[in-house]
Chain A
Amino acid sequence: MSATSTGDDLRAAALAVAPALLAVDPKALGGVLLKGPAGPVRDRFIATLTAALPAGSPVLPVPCHVGPGRLIGEIDTTATLAAGRLIHDPGLFVRAGRGLLVLRSAERLEPSAAALVALALDEPGEGFGIVACDESLADEDGPARCLAERLALHLDLTGLDESAIPATEPEVVAAARDRLARVTVADAAVVRLAAAASALGVRSDRALLHCVRAARILAALARRMTVSDADAETAAILVLAPRATRLPQAAADPAEAEDPPPPPPESEADNPSDPPPGDPAVAEDRVLDATVAALPPDLLAALSAGKPPARGRSPAGRSRDTGAASARGRQIGTRAGDPRRGRLDLLASVRSAVPWQRLRGAPPSGARLSLRPADLRLKRLKNRKGATTIFCVDASGSTALERLAEAKGAVEQILADCYVRRDEVALVAFRGQEATLIVPPTRSLQRARACLQALPGGGGTPLAEGIAAACRLGVDTARRGRTPTLVLITDGRPNIGFGGIAGRDRAAEDATTAAREVAAHHLRALVIDSSARPEPRARALADTMGALYLALPHADSASLHRAVQAGSAALAAGVKP
């Protein structure tokens, strides 16, 4: 397909200029989000960018566990104790000056740190830019949205090699930096970019502003005093394309194509087929066409399928802390440690130092107490653990369609409950050959509802895949520091095994294997038998899982809801069937 190769070319050209673009004025663009694994391409990008910055610009790497104090400045406790006088650490924001902060694995950055970086980027005036490296995989959370939104460039380096990023000439970048303030952008160009943003469903005015700024910088790099169409195109490819949430109407809506075409306007017959260059309407199309052509392939696929592009999950309740060693929450005790790795509990530290005072002799001048780093105690904090109910619903043909409607109804009702309790809900459905995560863990009713409504029914019963998918999600949820509960709604009569292989015996065997996996992870589970008569196989499956079993012939969504509530109460109380 020729359009694809053009798109690749456009993307490649845009990527090649990105380091120079950013180096001219990192603060104006916020920075760049680099998606892809660590490796030579990413290193090359950062090195190229660094080389193009003014000499001596700081480029500071920031680890994902950076604390607020390290960013905004704090007292260096250990140095203070050693010196016997107060020693401040100005923090990375000050030390970054007009350079760059490189967030390694930005997707694992503490939400508090991400929020502080976002605030710092909002500060007017001169400041630093951000290089945020995103190593998240397809089904993982990306960087915090408040941060990603403020970075103009979103680049995907996956699968590229080093040659994708040519060297930049520092003199050209320096000249562009000098010229930038005098580069103007015509209103018409801004209108074109705004039209492209609207057509692509880019709602943020910040993104549009970033795009205009990028276009000006590109003009400065090309030694132009005004923004050209090519500058606008490249800027749109770099800034708008990765943020697209829809395809322009004409291309996105096949129904529209079937509509009787509107009568051609009179003027069209008069105009030559090649309108003169410089016509605003044509130029607008050019910017938009170039951007659409350069949409990343996966994004294009998602948009054509009518799905909103997968964004990172909400950071709500997101925590990689496994229980006790949380960075936030209420204090549950103390432990010895470095105060830069946690929150100092000063009273406990003093308490631990007091018994040693006589042995240590006189404290440093001016101090009343001789404290040593070994005395320092950190707070142990505990975050309240949230619950996540994972529904695993049989949406196959054997489950009558009204059953599916009931299950949907029950999920909706339970969602409303969870909304009050701040619990999360997720929904895995299985039908045909495979299991699909229909509703990723969410507290958002709106989102869950939209996902639920789109759930179709019919096809085979790949029970094993369903259980396995729910189990994986359960394990992942537990890793996020939440308590998962699996609720499996099925009639227990699978006919598709792992890998979409048909056959009842094989399917039943695989379902048992998947159920054992649930038991092995000690996941709380509830099996709701939705067959018309209690089905021994569903009961056996529940036993294998170590799950509570509920036979629910002729359930409506309300009784299903009550059953799940009763079932989870029993599970919480540790009752076994």
Chain B
Amino acid sequence: MAEPFPFTAIVGQSEMKQALLVAAVDPRIGGVLITGDRGTGKSTAVRGLAAILPPLRVVADCPYRCGPGDSPECCPHCSSATTRTLGTGPVPVVDLPLGATEDRVVGALDIEEALVHGRKRFEPGLLARANRGFLYVDEVNLLEDHLVDLLLDVAASGENIVEREGLSVRHPARFVLIGSGNPEEGELRPQLLDRFGLSVEVTSPDDIDLRVEAVKRRESFDRDANAFHATWAREQQRLARRIAAARKRLEAIEVTDMMRRAIAGLCIKLGTDGLRGELTLIRAARALAALEGDTTIAANHLRQAAPLALRHRLRRNPMDEAGSRIRVERALAEAWAA
């Protein structure tokens, strides 16, 4: 497949790009929900993400992309393999289209093997292909309920268990879930909303210059993709190095007790449910600090991370339209004033 549009060449949408980078640095953050208008470069950004991520060390031929650190029993392929040779592969970005059948998502009996060789073999689905990468669901708010149930289950456990058609298969399915959608076309189920670590709202830029620049870049990409990639290669490499460095630095980022208290205070003030908001906020702030080359979490990291991590967790009157972003920012300002 041809190279996707370079991530660094996307005009504007800095908050969305930042959230995706945070999730790329720390995949445990629990995914990103992107809400807003159509045609704002959501899928372009997600598809462009893989190109700036360091390639994965994988077990050669393993359809589940198991890594060198995974146990030999991790998946049907590795548990039956006699030797494991390692190779590298790109980080997968897999689209889960609306209305996909359950078979395509979880995997099913391999009809080809069954028909021709009379063998019962599992044909991995989209969840397997997304392992250790990104699973992108456009219009996640319109996803059918039985698929949402399935996603919730797998996203929580990091494992896909298939018990059907005489098959009994389990394989790792750890992925960063990226969802996009427009809440005006249907609301997201609360359980699924809670799954997302971060959320961002995107709007088309009203700035004419930005729109013109976006169109011009896209035009020159379409005209000569190779030349365009060459133009952006340095920028892409710089970002790739930043991500790789941030990943290395991540665990060493310090969180002071004072900062923890400030974060707890913020979450209490905003009345977010449970500890998930707090944990996600710490993780996101840490990833941001790592991206910026800092060694401790500072106020400015928190200020950037708080809207991403908390906006969708505010307990709200479902009818309340007051921007949750504004509430987060207000609480932040108060927390810092105090």
Contact = CB atoms under 8 A, between A and B. Distances in A.
B191 to A, nearest CB: 10
Kindly list the 3 A-B residue pairs having the minimum CB-CB distance in the complex, ordered from nearest: A204-B39, A112-B99, A115-B97
Interface residues of A, number: 76
B101 A328 contact: yes
A444 B184 contact: yes
Contact of A315 (B98, B100, B214, B225): B98
Interface in A323-357: 328-330, 343-347, 350
A245 to B, nearest CB: 11
B219 interface: yes
A197 B216 contact: no
B104 A68 contact: yes
A156 to B, nearest CB: 21
A80 B98 contact: no
Nearest to A144: B98
A28 interface: yes
Interface stretch (A1-9, A414-422, A534-542): A414-422
Contact of B319 (A123, A212, A445): A445
Contacts of B2: 123-125
Interface in A487-520: none
A91 to B, nearest CB: 14
Interface of B: 1-5, 37-41, 43, 47, 95, 97-104, 109, 111-112, 114-116, 118, 138-139, 141-142, 144-146, 165-166, 183-187, 189-190, 203-204, 206, 208, 211-212, 214-216, 218-219, 222-223, 225, 317-319, 321
A301 interface: no
B318 A314 contact: no
Given A181-B223, A367-B118, 19 more contacts: A86-B115, A114-B98, A119-B97, A123-B1, A125-B2, A145-B38, A185-B219, A198-B211, A205-B41, A317-B144, A328-B146, A329-B144, A345-B165, A346-B114, A346-B115, A419-B318, A420-B190, A444-B187, A449-B319
B40 to A, nearest CB: 6
B101 A194 contact: no
A110 B99 contact: yes
Nearest to B167: A347
Nearest to B96: A115
Contacts of A246: none
A195 interface: yes
* Interface hub of A195, A203, A315 (most chain B Cβ within 10 A): A203
A454 interface: no
B216 A346 contact: no
A449 B204 contact: no
A330 B164 CA distance: 12
Contact of A112 (B1, B100, B189, B317): B100
A77 B111 contact: yes
A358 interface: no
Given A181-B223, A347-B166, A81 B115 contact: yes
Contacts of B37: 203-204
A57 B95 CA distance: 29
